[in-house]
Amino acid sequence: MKKINKKQISQEVFDLYDDYAHNKLERRQFIEKLSLYAVGGLT
């Protein structure tokens, strides 16, 4: 698997992960919001 760095991740996705890591988001909320970026990246 190829490693990625912070420059390759949008700030919004990084902020989502930060909120999840610091218990500001439940896992379900994190995945739901993150999926919007994953689908957008494929189109």
Q: What is the pLDDT of residues 6-42, one digit of tens each?
A: 778 889 999 999 999 999 999 999 999 999 887 755 5
DSSP secondary structure string for all residues of 1-43: -----GGGS-HHHHHHHHHHHTTSS-HHHHHHHHHHHHHHHH-
Instruction: Report residue 1's pLDDT band, with 50, 70 and 90 as the boundaries.
Output: confident
Looking at residue 31, what is its pLDDT?
96
Q: Where are the domains of the chain?
A: 9-42
Per-residue DSSP letter, 8: G
